[in-house]
């Protein structure tokens, strides 16, 4: 049953006579359940008219009916007069509070447009969340109406808190959620990976907020990513700060009735990112981890990133991707052992119903090249990806390097290296990466070293190091920028010929059965 409490009658009357739509009257009268808002707009307006504009019959003697606790809007009083909030032609005026949103943009025709937008976008989803972006000036108009309603309630010795009135966005969703759910065949929920969003705009009333900037200057600060300083957040802050008397002098009741209704300037669909993780091995010494482009010119044919994502992107039908990993190796460095952990964020995927078998098939396709191999490919959560980066500086990595020494290598030289434990290095940013990394001195640890003699000028060096150690520079010294180094320890000139990453000691993502 549709009810407005009797105490709100004065509020309803002043709103109804000032160009406010029936649904906004319900909001300002604190009707806090969905059913009345979902009535056809015409039927609701007729019911309100029966309550607020009763016939003169039976009132000639000046007697009035005794006050009642509730005024029922679903009981007919036989009155056929025109509704008070229509124009001369009988058409509903554009509401001066919602600017037509609850009148003209909450019906079956509008829901059909949303349905066609979602259907044409081609997403897979099991439920959805509906988001609405409203013009900031609606906040000003609603604040004005609340102050007027508050004044009417005070005449009765009552209080109307702003938090008691129903927010436009909430009322709109009460109306439209079941309609969209019926069209899409899935439920609207408060949290979902799939979002349907509508952005409303009303240029005719854009200047409604401008007076706030003269009264509350500190609330409106330009931002690079905002087209206007009059954001909803800024307007909310200003309305909280401005005094009621100052507001009423600047923005008087009732707000003007606009000639046009709000329009939809954007209708969007978006699916939350899907994250795919695994570990990769790189067997080529001519393959960068990510595309190598300098001054617009591509230096290498492909990359680890591309060899993986070129298989993932068509399956998930994502708009774009972001690749991240636990460290990176140089283009001429192989990654062996169990490989390097990586994660790929697939942005706005259209296909998300992917099975474990689909992922296994993807892994096989990626492994169709001799340049890389991936293992433990799996879908993970956004939160899980953070584990890959947690404590990265404290993790260890193992390497093997082919070293050349200028002097003849003796047994004592290699034993000296074998006995090194927890060697502390000071490494200035290497010259080769100084163009893309800030100049700094970093302390790193070489935990252990083991050697394997090859010939009088060559040996293989196995190292276990702190993550972030520059191995090439530790070998040749980088013109004294890494101290100590292999050359200074052996008292000769040394260089590195080949380098392999043997292990990245990050226990992520979880290992899968083959």
Catalytic residue among 330, 361, 418, 505: 330
Tokens linked to 75? 């009981």
Report the DSSP beta bridge partners of residue 21: none
In contact, 168 and 20? CB cutoff 8 Å: no
330 part of the active site: yes
DSSP string over 209-234: GHHHHHH-GGG----TT-S-S--HHH
Report how many helices (DSSP H) and strands (DSSP E) the chain contains, helices first.
16, 17
Q: Count Cβ neighbours within 10 Å for each residue of 97-108 and write b for 16 or more, e otherwise.
A: bbbbbbbbbbee
**Strands, DSSP E only, in 124-273?**
129-133, 194-201, 263-271
- The residue assigned the tokens 């009257």 is 25
Q: Which of 304, 264, 261 has the alpha carbon at shortest distance from 93?
A: 261
Q: Which of 133, 33, 142, 42 has the alpha carbon at shortest distance from 92?
A: 42
Tell me whether strands 297-298 and 129-133 are parallel, antiparallel or unpaired: unpaired
Helix (H, G, I), strand (E, B) or coil at 93: coil
Report how far apart, in Å, the C-alpha atoms of 311 and of each of 304, 325, 345, 362, 375 are.
Answer: 12, 18, 14, 7, 14
Helix (H, G, I), strand (E, B) or coil at 259: coil
DSSP string over 340-389: EEEEEEEES-S-----HHHHHHHHHHHTTSSSEEEEEEEEE-HHHHHHHH
Query: What is the rounded CA–CA span in Å between residue 89 and residue 69?
Result: 35
Tokens linked to 117? 């937008």
- The residue assigned the tokens 């492909």 is 302
Query: What is the rounded CA–CA span in Å between residue 74 and residue 80?
Result: 15
H-helix or E-strand containing 448? Answer: strand 441-455
Report the DSSP beta bridge partners of residue 380: 275
CB atoms within 10 A of CB 195: 16
The vertex-82 CA angle with 80 and 88, nearest 5°, equals 155
Query: What is the rounded CA–CA span in Å between residue 409 and residue 454?
Result: 10
Q: Count Cβ neighbours within 10 Å for each residue of 178-190 and write b for 16 or more, e otherwise.
A: ebbbebbeeebee
Q: Which of 425, 415, 472, 468 has the alpha carbon at shortest distance from 446?
A: 425
Catalytic residues: 330
């Amino acid at each position: 049953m549709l009810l407005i409490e009797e105490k709100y009658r004065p509020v309803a009357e002043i709103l109804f006579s000032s160009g406010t739509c029936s649904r906004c009257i319900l909001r300002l009268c604190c009707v806090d359940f969905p059913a009345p808002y979902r009535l056809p707009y015409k039927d609701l307006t007729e019911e309100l008219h029966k309550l607020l504009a009763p016939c003169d019959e039976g009132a000639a003697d000046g007697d009035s009916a005794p006050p009642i606790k509730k005024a029922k809007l679903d009981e007919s009083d036989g009155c056929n007069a025109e509704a008070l909030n229509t124009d001369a032609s009988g058409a509903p005026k554009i509401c001066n509070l919602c600017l037509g949103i609850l009148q003209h943009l909450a019906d079956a025709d509008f829901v059909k447009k949303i349905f066609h937008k979602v259907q044409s976008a081609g997403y897979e989803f099991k439920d959805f969340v509906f988001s609405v972006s409203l013009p900031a000036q609606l906040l000003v108009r609603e604040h004005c109406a609340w102050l007027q309603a508050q004044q009417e309630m005070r005449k009765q010795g009552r209080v109307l808190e702003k938090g008691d009135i129903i927010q436009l966005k909430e009322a709109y969703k009460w109306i439209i959620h079941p309609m969209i759910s019926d069209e899409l065949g899935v439920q609207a929920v408060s949290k979902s990976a799939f979002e349907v969003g509508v952005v409303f705009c009303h240029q005719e009333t854009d200047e409604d907020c401008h007076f706030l900037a003269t009264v509350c200057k500190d609330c409106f600060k330009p931002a690079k990513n905002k087209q206007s300083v009059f954001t909803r957040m800024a307007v909310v802050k200003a309305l909280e700060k401005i005094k009621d008397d100052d507001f009423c002098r600047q923005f008087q009741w009732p707000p003007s009735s606009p000639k046009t209704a709000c329009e939809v300037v954007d209708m969007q669909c978006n699916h939350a990112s899907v994250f795919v993780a695994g570990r990769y091995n790189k067997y080529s010494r001519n393959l960068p981890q990510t595309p190598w482009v300098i001054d617009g010119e591509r230096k290498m044919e492909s990359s680890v990133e591309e060899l993986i994502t070129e298989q993932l992107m068509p399956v998930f039908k994502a708009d774009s991707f972001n690749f991240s990993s636990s460290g990176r190796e140089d283009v001429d460095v192989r990654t062996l052992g169990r490989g390097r952990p990586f994660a790929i964020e697939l942005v706005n995927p259209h296909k998300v119903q992917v099975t474990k078998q689909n992922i296994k098939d993807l892994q096989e396709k990626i492994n169709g090249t001799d340049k890389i191999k991936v293992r433990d490919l799996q879908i993970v959560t956004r939160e899980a990806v953070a584990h890959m980066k947690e404590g990265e500086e404290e993790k260890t990595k193992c390497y093997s390097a082919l070293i050349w020494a200028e002097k003849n290598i003796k047994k004592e030289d290699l034993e000296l290296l074998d006995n090194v434990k927890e060697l502390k290095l000071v490494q200035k940013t290497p010259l080769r990466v100084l163009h893309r990394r800030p100049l700094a001195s970093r302390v790193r640890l070489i935990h252990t070293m083991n050697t394997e003699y090859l010939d009088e000028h060559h040996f293989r060096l196995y190292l276990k190091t702190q993550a972030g150690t520059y191995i090439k520079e530790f070998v040749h010294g980088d013109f004294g920028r890494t101290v100590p180094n292999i050359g200074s320890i052996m008292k000769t000139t040394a260089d590195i010929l080949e380098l392999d990453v043997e292990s990245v000691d990050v226990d992520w993502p979880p290992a899968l059965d083959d």
